[in-house]
Amino acid sequence: MPGIILEANHIQKSYGDQLVLDVERLRVYDGERIALIGENGAGKSTLLSILAGETEPDAGTVRRCGSFAYIHQSGEARNDGSARLASEFRAPEQRGGLSGGEITRRRIAEALSGDTVLLFADEPTTDLDAGGIERLTRFLLSRRGALLLVSHDRALLNALCTRVLHLEDGRITDFPGTYSAYQEELKRRRAFQQFEYDRYRAEQARLKALAQQKAEWAASVQKAPKRMGNSEARLHTREYTNAVLRLSAAKKTVQDRMERLEKKERPKDLPQVHMTLGVSHPVEARTALTVRCDLLRAGGRTLLSQTGFHLPAGSRTALLGENGSGKTTLLRALRGEPSPGTLFTGEIRLNPGARLGWFDQDHEKTLDLEKTALENAMASSPCPESLARTVLARLRLEGDSVFKPARVLSGGERAKAALAKLLLSDSNVLILDEPTNHLDLFAMEALESLLADYGGTLLFVSHDRAFVSAVAGRILRVENSALTAFEGTLSQMEADAKRSRGDEPARLEITSLEMKLAALAARMAAPKKGESPEQLKEEYLALAESLKALRRKNAPQPRP
């Protein structure tokens, strides 16, 4: 049996009068890959920091057996790590002028350079492109030792983890299996909880009706008539008193049963929002935005040259590309707020009916930090407060949290407030730069649902595969200093690319046959001495038939 490499007992941590962590016991065994999930503000990063010894708990003990490494959620790498890993993760050598994804690559290369028995990873895919996530997944799958991972990337969790720890209200619930298995188990538990709640309410209603019936029967028992004789009256009074006592006792028994009835809580339902936002003032044209980019340079590098794109009105477009390819730089140039050292030349044509709304990774540009989350959400909204509260709750920002100033909110909570503000605005064209960064899994799934129902036009940058697959109906790729549009989903684009790679041998064979036919045609036009024109013709017809069959077999199939 694998040995214990980490054991934590009676861990408690409070901030002010709020108890954030109350973990009775936690064990991590050698070779385990564990997902730690929970809502923003639940204390996931705090727990990791305590387990790694970087933060002191208010109570409890942590025992670690062996060395460990830590991929932090933010900040600069302290050193360069091994040259091999830096090369494998394409981590730049320089420290300044890097994109968010390039900074993440440096943190990963640094943490994975040592030979450790335990790895703590706090949102290691933040800003990381698809290639970087794939490399990280392969490396962690092949890595020996244990892993304790906080991530909102569902594909990564399912690929790596075989145990899920759900942190809620300071306590941990342990689920064996993948994140998908955990979701199915939650559905099963919720269905059983709903069944028990319905049964509880039905029994509660039955007992209440029974108690009311006993009370009505007691009230309906008739007293002795005034003209009745004394002996008869005494007999009737005794019978009346006994009947009332029996019925009162029966009522009391029913009331006692009601009080002893085990209370069942109703499963928590997130409010549903059917988004009509973005359609009240739609873009009345085929195209909402057209961009011609003659040149985009940053930090002395040419990112884009002689390229461009357009956004069809009502479309949902994902802007994809490797880290450092210029996605965020392009969006900021379109906004008219280019990063220092950026040069953009070209033309941006916005449809007169388009109203742009922006989500920036820097939430201080979007939020008034002295106003509450609800006030920020309502700041530019024509919608009633009830809808604003509903959208915030759908993003898992609810209760007293909506009345907190934005300056005291966590990074994930600020992201939720900024997204709610954007969704509630009167914008009909939304441009979102990494909207899922810092969001917990539950809020991210809710955002998918909200954007799937959004009636306007979307352009967003995201490296989360599941999010892109759920939201985007078209793809815009940054590759080789150019922008290429694909009219279809991410899975359709990948299927087309796979089919193209698979078709390469057939294309080579077709080219070879075409060259042979051309050579035969030349020989048929001027046969050499000893060559039979009829034989050349037969050979030509046979090759032509083979070419025709090969072309028919490899003709592109229409996309469903």
Residues 457 and 320 in one domain: yes
Query: Is the alpha carbon torsion for 28, 29, 30, 33 positive or negative?
Result: negative
Residues 193 and 333 in one domain: no
pLDDT at 522: 67
Question: What confidence category does residue 5 fall into, taking pLDDT thresholds of 50, 70 and 90?
Answer: very high
Q: Where a domain ends, among 260, 275, 295?
A: 260
Residues 303 and 373 in one domain: yes
Pair 383, 312: CB distance under 8 Å: no
CA distance linking residue 497 with residue 492, whole number of Å: 9
What's the whole-number mean pLDDT along residues 527-536?
A: 78
The tokens describing 240, both together, are 């009346």
What's the whole-number mean pLDDT along residues 485-491?
A: 90
Lowest mean pLDDT among 250-259, 300-309, 435-444, 542-551: 250-259
- 130 lies in some domain: yes
The tokens describing 48, both together, are 């990791």
- 267 lies in some domain: no
Question: What confidence category does residue 14 fall into, taking pLDDT thresholds of 50, 70 and 90?
Answer: very high
Lowest mean pLDDT among 112-126, 262-276, 312-326: 262-276
pLDDT at 57: 95
Q: Is the pLDDT of residue 450 over 90?
A: no
CA distance linking residue 386 with residue 242, whole number of Å: 56
Residues 102 and 158 in one domain: yes
CATH number of the domain residue 306 falls in: 3.40.50.300
The tokens describing 435, both together, are 């909207």
- 333 lies in some domain: yes
State the residue range of the domain holding 322.
Answer: 287-488
Pair 448, 467: CB distance under 8 Å: yes
- 226 lies in some domain: yes
Higher-scoring residue by pLDDT: 243, 235:
243
- 282 lies in some domain: no
pTM score over 0.85: no
Q: Where a domain ends, among 472, 488, 504?
A: 488
What residues contact 279, with CB distance under 8 A and at least 6 apart?
428, 455, 456
pLDDT at 241: 60
Q: Where a domain ends, among 470, 488, 506?
A: 488
Lowest mean pLDDT among 26-40, 382-396, 457-471: 382-396
Residues 207 and 116 in one domain: no
CA distance linking residue 22 with residue 7, whole number of Å: 15
pLDDT at 239: 57
Residues 68 and 196 in one domain: no
Could you give the number of structural domains in the chain?
A: 4
- 278 lies in some domain: no
Residues 130 and 47 in one domain: yes
Higher-scoring residue by pLDDT: 116, 250:
116
Regarding beta strands 163-168 and 342-350, do their DSSP bridges make them parallel or antiparallel, or are they unpaired?
Answer: unpaired
Residue 2 burial (10 A CB sphere; 0-12, 13-18, 19+): exposed
pLDDT in tens, 76-121: 877 767 778 888 888 888 777 788 888 889 899 888 888 899 999 9
Q: Is the pLDDT of residue 193 over 90?
A: no
- 327 lies in some domain: yes
The tokens describing 486, both together, are 């694909």
The conformational region for residue 161 under phi > 0 = left, psi -120 to 50 = alpha, else beta, is beta
Residues 343 and 454 in one domain: yes
Residues 21 and 146 in one domain: yes
Query: Is the alpha carbon torsion for 282, 283, 287, 289 positive or negative?
Result: negative
Residues 484 and 504 in one domain: no
CA distance linking residue 272 with residue 144, whole number of Å: 43
Q: Is 382 helix (H, G, I), strand (E, B) or coil?
A: coil
Identify any residues that bridge with 148 across adjacent strands, giving them in sequence order: 34, 120
Residues 38 and 129 in one domain: yes
CA distance linking residue 263 with residue 204, whole number of Å: 9
Q: Could you tell me the strand order of the sheet in which 482-486 lies?
A: 356-359, 429-433, 457-461, 316-321, 474-479, 482-486
